Amino acid sequence: MFEVIEQEMMCPYHEGDLFGILYRPETDTEKLPCVILSHGIYSSHQMTAPSAMELAKLGYACYCFDFRGCSYSRKSGGDLQNCSVLTEADELCAVVDWMREQDFADPARVYLLGQSMGGLVSVLAGARKQDVLAGMILMYPAMHIADTFNAMFPDRSAIPDVTENFLGIPGLNLGRIFFTDALKAPIAQSVSDFTKPVYIIHGTEDKLVPVSYGEKAAKEFQQAAFVSVSGGEHGFNLNAEQAAHINAFLLGD
């Protein structure tokens, strides 16, 4: 187990730099495997930090960053009503390219880890970047989103310009693009296209994203492992045991 060093780092992006924190193991190893962690809707880098810490202790350089607009920290700037899974996928692709160029990074061992909507965004970006990625870890990924929005808006013209307090969350006021982009995003194609290893972990008591969606996704990826967390609800982070299992999976053990 390594001690962990924290460092604020900005990832350049054409619409405004992305704020993040790097959790790096204190080691003399020159090139480290890297994990890029994506948070869920209206969350922040702080919510992925506990999982990053556990993986960093095992030797991974982990970067937790804020998406533009869809983070309550506002440290990456952006407008909440202009964000969507597709705008976030663009940002995540930029982070992948930037991470691979860092002096400490082993460019052949870069992984994505996404929580909830960040998991879906990782799927979309992962399919676009799989030539340079080594795999993905998906935590209760929001693979239900198209089904949910199709049920909400069978008539696309009924999607309002602004949906206030989405999911009952005060201040989560989403623009029309959030729903239209989710409905047109190539989710199924991204899953079928991704050929690298995928580790999916999902709680059995998840009320927001039913565990059946994680199970279904694991069957549709070309090579995936599925782990259920008995009694687990939506929004948990990795503990030391779960991180060790993921490490073994990524190493092929």
Using one digit for the tens of pLDDT, what is the confidence trace for 65-122?
999 998 888 899 999 999 999 999 999 999 999 999 999 999 999 999 999 999 999 9
Distances in Å between the Cα of 123 and the Cα atoms of 3, 99, 113, 194, 250 are: 31, 18, 10, 8, 17
CA atoms within 13 A on the CB side of 164: 0
- Give the pLDDT of residue 62: 98
Q: For the residues 206-217, what does the mean pLDDT come to?
A: 97
pLDDT per residue over 11-45, tens digit each?
A: 999 999 999 999 999 999 999 999 999 999 999 99
Listed residue (155, 46, 141) closest to 85, CA to CA: 141
Q: How far apart are CA 116 and CA 139, in angstroms?
A: 6
Cα separation, 93 vs 36, in Å, equals 10
Give the whole-angstrom CA distance, residue 128 versus residue 132: 9
Q: Is 71 exposed, middle or buried (0-12, 13-18, 19+ CB in 10 A)?
A: buried
- What does the CA dihedral 23, 25, 31, 35 come to, rounded to 10 degrees? -40
Q: Per residue in 142-191, pLDDT tens?
A: 999 999 999 999 999 999 999 999 989 898 999 999 999 999 999 999 99
For 32-60, letters b (16+ CB in 10 Å) and e give bbbbbbbbbbbbbbebbbebbbbbbbbeb
Residue 152 one-letter amino acid:
M
pTM: 0.97
- b/e map 201-225, b = 16+ CB within 10 Å: bbbeebebbbbebbeebbeebeebe
Chain centre to alpha carbon of residue 74: 18
120-155 per-position pLDDT tens digit:
999 999 999 999 999 999 999 999 999 999 999 999
Q: For residue 193, is pLDDT > 90? A: yes
